[in-house]
Amino acid sequence: MTIHIGAAKDDIAETVLMPGDPYRAKWAAETFLTDAKLVNEVRGMLGFTGTWNGHRVTIQGSGMGMPSLSIYANELITEYNAQTLIRIGSCGAMQNDVAIRDVILAQSATSLSTPSRGIFKEINFAPCADFDLLHKAYHAAEKLDVTTHVGGIYSSDVFYDERPDLTEQMTRHGILGVEMEAAELYNLAHRHQRRALAVLTVSDHLLTHEALPADQREKSFGDMVEIALTAAFI
């Protein structure tokens, strides 16, 4: 048991999926896991452990933004010995050839700053995904016939960004989408020699201003969860 995770050590699996929204964690656990058990509800940040095709897995909410994710990822790694951590979440597209409902596999994550900035000091560390997870996720998406893009994403510090020039430069340099957590997850995975990947569903588009209606999100998010689980275990 840690400050933010009230689970016993053996309640957490070595493979953890991390959606930002705790209720998305609940939905994913109820939809994809067998015998899902609530193992954490401290501060309402829900976590569940069950099995998928016989493999033990935990789905733990991370909250919004890198500081929040850093708390949960740190505790999962250092106190619960999590070995594989996969972010499952939504993102905003930043390229014209990336469409609503597409899936982005984050090969790397650009950021202005992360909670690890104090450690890196003057170094611009370039965090990236675990290649084995990335490779398996790509092939899982192909089998599901899900339109998938592999490349760099931007992990933003803010949701309401008042720097349109940043969007312009990210788009200019081929960044596929923007979200708020992956860069720090990748930093921590590198630091502790763990496997990490971000599998993201495009829910809105920064260039066209399209957005995925709420009643159509579940199927798209379901593809993302299945891709993540397949990459972790197959």
How many C-beta atoms lie closer than 10 Å to residue 99's C-beta? 14
- Please enumerate in sequence order all residues whose Cβ is within 8 A of that of 70, keeping only pairs 6 or more positions apart, or say none: 115, 116, 184, 188
Q: Is 161 a catalytic residue?
A: no
User: Any alpha helices (H) in the chain, and if so which ranges?
Assistant: 22-32, 66-78, 117-120, 131-143, 164-172, 182-192, 217-233
Q: How far is residue 45's CA from residue 118's CA, in Å, rounded to a whole number? A: 27
Residue written as token pair 């789905």 = 59
Q: Are 98 and 104 in contact (CB under 8 A)?
A: yes
Nearest residue to 208 (alpha-carbon basis) of 103, 104, 100: 100
- Report which residue type is found at 64: M
* Helix, strand and coil in the chain, % to nearest 5: 35, 30, 35
List the end-to-end C-alpha distance of the chain, in Å, as a whole number. Answer: 30
Per annotation, catalytic residue among 102, 161, 204, 223: 204
Residues belonging to the active site: 204
